[in-house]
Structure 1
Amino acid sequence: MKDKIYSFSIVFVCLLIFSLLAHNSYGQQTNSEPLRYELFEHKLFVVHTNHSTIETDSMRYRLLFPKNYDSTKKYPLVLFLHGAGERGDSSLTVKHIGAWALQEKNRKNYECFVLVPQCEKKNKWVEVDWAADSHTQPKEMSKYMNLTVQLLEKLEKQFPIDTDRIYLTGLSMGGYGTWDLATRFPQKFAAIVPICGGADEKTADSLKAMPIWVFHGALDQTVKPQRSRRMVEAVKKTGNKDVHYTEYSKVKHGSWKPAYEDESMWKWLFDCVVGE
């Protein structure tokens, strides 16, 4: 009896030690690299809405410069459209894209500008119902989408941006924005990555030459995966051969996390060049 108790105690202690070591190892891996969100510079973009008056519109945005920035070199730019939960003047705007962009290995491997425009509270990148099974693209861009286009044009003149390598991505509300902006300006972007968004399938023809990688969670109840599935099929019917779709079988609305952790997606994205 004593031998059995002794043997059980030894096994228990070994399991406890193993558990503690595994926990510490995991903690070291996840906390080894604190992300420096302050590297995203907080700025304000102001435009005159009427040149005969002093009326203006403005939009906050954040801009990350390439690591080892050299003004004599040209760099790609990643334009990120955030989701509804990050609206307003908040550092949360860069939370999801920052988890990728601020990792040291990515700063080295993908030297680029990262632009994050800020949509204010109660506004949308695209004025549509996210819960609807379908929608018709609005004739006009929303206020903050319009400002984003103007901001991008300004930055292209101000900084050494490689205009053949501008990449567009966004999640949820920003996924809708990604589709919408790309269909309006298909020549502007080298490739797009819409995540858990939706689009008007009637606009698919404008994307027949656009490299696209779409992500969605199969269990998403906020934006149904059918929205992505149908748009992907619509684009494929145009003859586009560079359309990829990844659907995570056990993921709900947060499909951006595994999507932005997918190294193969980033490698594919940065290999895309306008016209090639």
Structure 2
Amino acid sequence: MNRFKMIIPLILLFYAFGSKAQDLEKYEKGSFIKKTDSISYRVLFPENFDDTKKYPILFFLHGRGESGNDNQKQLTHGARLFLKEEFRKQFPAIVVFPQCSADSYWANVNIITDSTGKREFHFREKGEPTRAMKALLGMVDDFLNKPYVDKKQVYVGGLSMGGMGTYELLRRKPRTFAAAFAICGGDHVANVQKYRKVPLWIFHGEKDNVVPMSCSTIIADQRKVLGNPAKLTLYPEANHNSWDSAFAEPQLLPWLFSNHK
């Protein structure tokens, strides 16, 4: 009897893990290939998707730890947020998770690590996009050519390396996005001018020892200088993982989808 009681919780545990994995399978696998540019992605379509209608679209950029070519790891952080029943009912939108290859990077940044492990991020003001960014730009354009995508409701967000990629995507396509959010990211301060008009919400942990908080606050300060302040939320006790707190913000998605071109 005791053995039976022990088996039941194990069965329920395996069932729970299986259910979560099955939920992520709702993100369909896809890839964009054009000449030498290629990128894999997962895409979640709204429930009862109708290709004769138009839907908002959100591109979410993952962090460095989720890079690769398995077309799976990029769903580690954030993917379940968009699977929640309340999101799918309130905000029927297309959600795309592209994956950056391990040998590239979303943003143009030179990262220097000293002998203590402390990192310095030197963002470029100009320059050609990385291989991953170039493919991403093509993928975004490809989605925007779909008849069921509402070009007035195009959004981007990301965390860490993906937050950096969010800023870079904004500066390379400043007229495309209705709003954006960046979690523990960074950019060259001179680039902020290019996306000064895009509604933006910035998140960062004050104890971040991977990407310094100043990488975000300098952008928020520059938006003030340019006369169009961004929303800024700092978490006093958060280290690099400020994304869990950001995803838990009840106004994040209502704010994001309230913005239109």
Query: Aligned letter for 2:37?
Result: D
1:93-112 equivalence runs, <5 A: 93-112=74-93
Query: Out of 232, 247, 250, which is 1:260 matched to?
Result: 247
| Corresponding residue number in structure 1 for 2:40 | 60
Where is the strand percentage greater, Structure 1 or Structure 2? 2
Q: What's the TM-score, normalizing by structure 2?
A: 0.86
Query: Aligned letter for 2:98?
Result: P
Offset at residue 92 of structure 1 (A): 1.8
Where is the helix percentage greater, Structure 1 or Structure 2? 1
| Corresponding residue number in structure 2 for 1:229 | 217
Q: Distance in 1 between matches of 2:166 and 2:209?
A: 20
Aligned residues: 239
| Corresponding residue number in structure 1 for 2:201 | 213
Contact between 1:137 and 1:180, CA under 8 Å: does it hold in 2? no
1:75 lines up with 2:55 in the alignment: yes
Q: Distance in 2 between matches of 1:160 and 1:186?
A: 22
Bigger radius of gyration: 1
Residues 118-150 of structure 1 deviation map (CA, whole Å, 9 limit, x = unaligned): 111121001313432543334111111111111
User: CA distance change for structure 1 residues 119 and 68 in 2, over 3 Å: closer, same or farther?
Assistant: same
| Corresponding residue number in structure 2 for 1:125 | 106
Residues 161-182 of structure 1 deviation map (CA, whole Å, 9 limit, x = unaligned): 1111111101000010001111
Q: Distance in 2 between matches of 1:206 and 1:156?
A: 21
Q: Unpaired segments of 5 or more residues in structure 2?
A: 1-11, 112-118
Q: Unpaired segments of 5 or more residues in structure 1?
A: 1-26, 49-55
Contact between 2:109 and 2:122, CA under 8 Å: does it hold in 1? no
User: CA distance change for structure 1 residues 149 and 57 in 2, over 3 Å: closer, same or farther?
Assistant: closer
SS across alignment from 2:120: coil
RMSD between superposed Cα atoms in Å: 2.1
1:122-201 equivalence runs, <5 A: 122-130=103-111, 131-132=119-120, 134-201=122-189
Query: Aligned letter for 2:169?
Result: L
| Corresponding residue number in structure 1 for 2:238 | 251
Q: Distance in 2 between matches of 1:44 and 1:248?
A: 36
Contact between 2:37 and 2:131, CA under 8 Å: does it hold in 1? no
